[in-house]
Structure 1
Amino acid sequence: MFKKLIFTFLGFSLFSCAKDAKPKPSGELRLEYPEAKYQQYSSPCGFRFEYSDFAKIENAKENCWYYISYPKMRAKVFLTYFPVKNDFDLHVKESEKMVYEHTVKATSIDTKSFSYPERKVFGNFYELKGPSASNLQFFVTDSTRHYVTANLYFNTRPKPDSLAPAVDYIKKDLLHLIDTFQWK
């Protein structure tokens, strides 16, 4: 009787109905951000715009170079001003070069041109899809004297799905920045 009980117990333990244990994939935290409230920034370099109060503007080491920092997202928009001195074409080519260097990793690049002739604000906005190092880039110019370029970078490995909420939030901010951009 005792032997039958041991064999029955061994039989049940060998053929139990438990599923095989499978490791769970690591997940990313879903992030939600506050509704943006905008404030005015006026640069001594001759331009002004509105930016989100969720961000901070920091001066870089060079004059007229700025960081629009999103510390909770570990993201920075590198914003740079250049005076145009018979080198407008060079600035445009350099901006496009910065965008198209990411074609190695980007799955697509959406380009949107914008024009606000009443404020003399013209430029292009680039959205890079896929695991590229920079997700958003743009340039703003008056086409004669001023040129501003900006690039978004995250301080993390490019993971398009995980970064999508942050990229969308910052994209709205940058489009608002462009819509409110003015030369002094």
Structure 2
Amino acid sequence: MFKNLIIIVVGLSLFSCGKEPVPKPKGDLRLEYPNPKYTRFSTPCSYSFDYSDFASVKEAKQPCWYNLSYPKMKANVFITYFPIKNDFPLHVKEVEKMVYEHTIKASAIDTKFFQYPEKKVYGNFYELKGQTASNIQFFVTDSTRHFVTGNLYFNTRPKPDSLAPAVDYIKKDLLHLIDSFEWKK
């Protein structure tokens, strides 16, 4: 009986040995964000827009430039303003240059044109996919006097899968910002 027990234990130990266990890779958390409530931001400059209560607006280095900060996401949308002085094509080229500099890392760049003629609001919205430094860029203009750009950056390495929930949330906010954008008279 004791002999049979030893044979069974030795036999099981031979078959139980196999590959070494491999730890599972570290996973990222699934992030969910609250439904936004929008607040009107009226600048002393020539424009206003709605922004999410999940963000805050801070003044930047130049007059009429602002940072739309999402501290819990470690993200910033840099909003810049330029008056147009017979240089409208140069502003558009500069935005496109900034967008297409990311083609090295971008897997795709989706461009959407928008226009609200009743408010004299026109522009492009660029969504950059892949491991790009900036995931979203846009410009808003009245095409004669004012030009505003926006660029989204995260304070982290570009990891498209990990950042996807935050990018989607901010994308919806920025589309709402554009929909609510108005020039002051």
Q: Distance in 1 between matches of 2:131 and 2:177?
A: 25
* SS of corresponding position for 1:41: strand
Q: Distance in 1 between matches of 2:164 and 2:47?
A: 30
**What is the CA distance between 1:2 and its match in structure 2?**
7.5
Query: Which residue is 1:114 aligned to?
Result: 114
Query: Which residue is 2:138 aligned to?
Result: 138
Query: Which residue is 1:83 aligned to?
Result: 83
**What is the CA distance between 1:3 and its match in structure 2?**
7.9
Q: Distance in 1 between matches of 2:113 and 2:5?
A: 80
Query: Which residue is 1:149 aligned to?
Result: 149
Q: Distance in 2 between matches of 1:81 and 1:172?
A: 22
Letter in 2 for 1:33: Y
Q: Distance in 1 between matches of 2:7 and 2:165?
A: 57
Letter in 1 for 2:126: Y
Kindly report which structure 2 residues correspond to 1:167-182, keeping only aligned pairs within 5 A, or say none.
167-182=167-182
Q: Distance in 2 between matches of 1:15 and 1:84?
A: 77
Query: Which residue is 2:69 aligned to?
Result: 69
| 1:137-182 per-position Cα deviation (integer Å, ceiling 9, x unaligned) | 1000000110000000011111111111111100000000000000
**What is the CA distance between 1:62 and its match in structure 2?**
1.6
| 1:72-99 per-position Cα deviation (integer Å, ceiling 9, x unaligned) | 1010000000011111111100000010
**What is the CA distance between 1:11 and its match in structure 2?**
4.0
Query: Which residue is 1:99 aligned to?
Result: 99
Unaligned regions of 5+ residues in structure 2, if any?
A: none
What's the TM-score, normalizing by structure 2? 0.93
* 2:164 is the alignment partner of 1:164: yes
**What is the CA distance between 1:6 and its match in structure 2?**
5.7
* SS of corresponding position for 1:124: strand
Q: Distance in 2 between matches of 1:81 and 1:155?
A: 23
Letter in 1 for 2:83: P
**What is the CA distance between 1:46 and its match in structure 2?**
0.8
Q: Distance in 2 between matches of 1:92 and 1:166?
A: 27
Unaligned regions of 5+ residues in structure 1, if any?
A: none
| 1:45-64 per-position Cα deviation (integer Å, ceiling 9, x unaligned) | 11000000000001112211
Q: Distance in 1 between matches of 2:57 and 2:158?
A: 23
Q: Distance in 1 between matches of 2:46 and 2:103?
A: 33
- RMSD (CA atoms): 1.8
**What is the CA distance between 1:15 and its match in structure 2?**
2.4
Q: Distance in 2 between matches of 1:85 and 1:26?
A: 53
Q: Distance in 1 between matches of 2:104 and 2:88?
A: 27
* SS of corresponding position for 1:107: strand
* 2:64 is the alignment partner of 1:50: no
